[in-house]
C-alpha cells in the first residue's frame, strides 16, 4: 500500500509540473533584487530568528511563577471530632535580587541585535551571489550575441560558397574550412547555453520562482564609482559603521560584558517569601504564618562562572580586533584590484576601434565573396573580432564583480550612501 501512495504522490507532482506554462519575465537588476529580498526562502527563514530572539526578550522579563503546595491532609478523623480534618496550604514566591532579571533582559536584547546582524550577514552574502549571477548572465547573453553574428556571417558565406562549388567555380576545401569554423562557433554557443542554464537555475532559486520561468535581464547598466573618489580611510570607517560581521563581533563583546555582570549578580542569593495556613496542625485550630528564606553564600559564590565570563570577555576583545584587521586588509586588497579593473575597463571602452568591429564583419564578408581578400585573412579577422569582443565583455563583467567585492567587503552599498549624501 505504501508503494501505491508514493506512486500517487509522484504522479501528482508530475501533473503539477507539466501543468505549469513556460513564461519569460523581463526584469531590471533593481527589480530582481527587490524580488529577491521579498521572496528568497533562506532570507525568510533567517528573518524568523529575529522574532525568536524578540520572544526571548519577552521571556526574560517574566517573573518566576509562585508555588502553591497543599500538604498534611488527614483522610480520616477521630470519632470524637468528625469535622477536624487536618491540612496545610503554603504559597511561596521567589524574588530575584541584584537586578538579575534586568541583567538577563539586557543580555537577551543584545542577542536580538546579534540576530539582526546575522540576518544582515546572510543578506550580504546572498546579495553578492545574486549580483554576480546577474552580471554573469548579462555577459553570457552578450557573448552569445557575438557568436550569433559569427554564425550568421559564416552561414551566409557557406551558402554562397556551396553554390559556387556546385557551379565548379571553387574547390570543396574552401567549404570544409568554413564548415569547420561554423561547427566550432556553434559548439561554443552550446557551451555558453549550458552556462546560461546554470546561471538561470541559480537566479531562479534565489528568487524562488518556478522551474519553467525564464528570466531576461533588461537595462543592466549600474553606476560605478571611480577609484579616485574612494578613500581607503573612508572605506575603513564605513566598514566600522556598516559591516555586519564587525558589528556582530562588537555585539559579542557587549554580550560577554553583560554576561559577566549577570554572573557577578549570581553571587547575591535570592529571597523566597511564603505565606502558609495550617488547620489542626499545631496548638491552634487555624494557624496563619509568614516566612522568608535566603541562601547563605558561604561555599559557592559563583567564582568559576565569573572567571569563565571574564576570560570570554577578553577573548571576544581579541577576536574583534582580529576581525577588524582582517577587514581592513581585505578592503585594501579589493580596492587595489578594483582600481586595476576600472582603469583597464576605461581604456577599452574609450577605444574607438572596438566600436567599429560590428560594422567590419559585413565588410570582410563582402570582400571575401568578391575575392578581394583570402580565406585566411577572413578567418584571422573573425578570430580577432571574437577575441576583442570577449575581452571587452569579460572586462565589463570583471569591473562590476570587483566593485561588488568592494561593497561586500565594506559591508554596504556605496552608491546608496552617495545618493543619500546628495
Residue 221 to residues 27, 139, 376: CA-CA distances in angstroms? 13, 12, 37
DSSP state of 299: S
CA 422 – CA 420 distance, rounded (Å): 5
The position carrying cell 555558453 is 192
The CATH number for 135's domain is 1.20.1600.10
Count structural domains, the chain.
1
Number of Cα atoms under 13 Å in the Cβ half of residue 202: 18
| 131 part of a folded domain | yes
Position 181 confidence tier, pLDDT thresholds 50, 70, 90: very high
| 82 part of a folded domain | no
Q: What is the mean pLDDT of residues 57-80?
A: 85
| 265 part of a folded domain | yes
Q: Where are the beta strands (DSSP E) in 9-113?
A: 23-27, 67-71, 87-95
User: Which residues neighbour 315 within 8 Å (Cβ) at sequence distance 6 or greater?
Assistant: 256
Does residue 270 surpass a pLDDT of 90?
yes
CA 146 – CA 358 distance, rounded (Å): 9
Cell of 337: 584590484
Write the pLDDT tens digit of every residue in 289-323: 999 999 999 999 999 999 999 999 999 999 999 99
| 329 part of a folded domain | yes
Does residue 177 surpass a pLDDT of 80?
yes
Cell of 208: 524562488
Rounded to 10 deg, the angle between the 414-421 and 375-410 helix axes is 70
CA 389 – CA 395 distance, rounded (Å): 10
pLDDT at 342: 96
Q: In this structure, are residues 316 and 253 in contact, taking their beta carbons and an 8 Å threshold?
A: yes
- Containing H/E element for 215? strand 213-217
Q: In this structure, are residues 71 and 27 in contact, taking their beta carbons and an 8 Å threshold?
A: no
pLDDT at 14: 38
The position carrying cell 566600436 is 355
- Containing H/E element for 55? helix 41-61
Q: Which domain holds residue 130?
A: 22-73+90-421
Write the pLDDT tens digit of every residue in 98-122: 999 999 999 999 999 999 999 999 9
CA gyration radius for the chain? 37
| 78 part of a folded domain | no
| 80 part of a folded domain | no
DSSP state of 362: H
CA 290 – CA 307 distance, rounded (Å): 38
Does residue 282 surpass a pLDDT of 70?
yes
DSSP state of 170: S
Write the pLDDT tens digit of every residue in 389-422: 999 999 999 999 999 999 999 999 987 666 554 3
Does residue 50 surpass a pLDDT of 60?
yes
Q: How many residues does the chain have?
A: 422
CA 29 – CA 194 distance, rounded (Å): 22
User: How high is the mean pLDDT of the chain?
Assistant: 88
Residue from 263, 271, 327 nearest 301 by CA: 263
Amino acid at each position: 500500500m505504501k508503494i501505491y501512495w508514493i506512486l500517487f504522490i509522484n504522479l501528482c507532482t508530475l501533473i503539477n509540473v507539466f501543468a505549469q506554462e513556460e513564461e519569460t519575465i523581463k526584469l531590471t537588476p533593481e527589480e530582481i533584487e527587490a524580488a529577491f529580498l521579498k521572496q528568497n526562502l533562506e532570507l525568510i527563514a533567517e528573518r524568523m530568528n529575529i522574532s525568536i530572539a524578540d520572544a526571548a526578550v519577552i521571556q526574560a522579563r517574566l517573573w518566576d511563577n509562585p508555588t502553591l503546595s497543599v500538604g498534611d491532609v488527614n483522610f480520616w478523623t477521630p470519632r470524637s471530632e468528625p469535622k477536624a480534618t487536618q491540612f496545610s496550604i503554603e504559597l511561596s514566591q521567589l524574588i530575584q535580587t541584584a537586578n538579575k532579571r534586568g541583567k538577563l533582559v539586557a543580555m537577551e536584547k543584545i542577542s536580538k541585535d546579534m540576530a539582526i546582524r546575522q540576518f544582515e550577514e546572510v543578506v550580504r552574502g546572498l546579495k553578492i551571489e545574486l549580483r554576480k549571477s546577474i552580471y554573469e548572465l548579462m555577459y553570457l547573453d552578450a557573448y552569445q550575441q557575438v557568436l550569433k553574428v559569427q554564425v550568421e556571417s559564416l552561414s551566409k558565406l557557406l551558402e554562397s560558397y556551396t553554390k559556387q562549388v556546385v557551379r565548379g567555380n571553387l574547390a570543396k576545401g574552401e567549404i570544409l574550412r568554413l564548415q569547420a569554423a561554423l561547427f566550432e562557433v556553434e559548439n561554443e554557443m552550446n557551451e555558453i547555453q549550458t552556462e546560461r542554464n546554470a546561471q538561470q537555475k541559480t537566479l531562479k532559486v534565489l528568487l524562488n520562482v518556478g522551474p519553467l520561468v525564464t528570466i531576461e535581464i533588461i537595462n543592466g547598466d549600474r553606476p560605478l564609482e571611480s577609484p579616485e573618489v574612494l578613500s581607503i580611510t573612508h572605506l575603513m570607517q564605513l566598514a566600522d559603521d556598516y559591516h555586519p560581521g564587525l558589528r556582530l563581533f562588537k555585539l559579542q563583546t557587549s554580550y560577554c560584558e553583560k554576561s559577566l555582570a549577570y554572573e557577578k549578580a549570581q553571587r547575591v542569593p535570592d529571597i523566597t517569601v511564603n505565606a502558609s495556613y495550617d488547620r489542626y496542625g499545631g496548638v491552634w485550630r487555624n494557624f496563619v504564618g509568614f516566612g522568608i528564606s535566603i541562601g547563605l553564600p558561604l561555599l559557592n559564590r559563583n567564582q568559576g562562572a565569573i572567571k569563565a565570563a571574564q576570560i570570554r570577555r577578553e577573548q571576544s576583545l581579541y577576536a574583534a580586533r582580529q576581525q577588524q584587521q582582517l577587514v581592513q586588509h581585505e578592503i585594501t586588497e579589493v580596492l587595489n584590484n578594483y582600481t586595476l579593473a576600472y582603469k583597464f575597463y576605461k581604456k577599452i571602452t574609450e577605444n574607438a576601434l572596438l566600436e567599429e568591429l560590428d560594422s567590419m564583419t559585413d565588410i570582410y564578408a563582402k570582400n571575401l565573396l568578391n575575392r578581394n581578400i583570402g580565406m585566411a585573412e577572413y578567418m584571422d579577422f573573425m578570430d580577432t573580432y571574437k577575441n576583442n569582443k570577449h575581452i571587452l565583455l569579460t572586462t565589463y563583467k570583471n569591473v562590476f564583480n570587483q566593485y561588488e567585492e568592494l561593497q561586500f567587503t565594506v559591508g554596504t552599498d556605496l552608491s546608496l550612501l552617495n545618493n543619500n549624501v546628495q
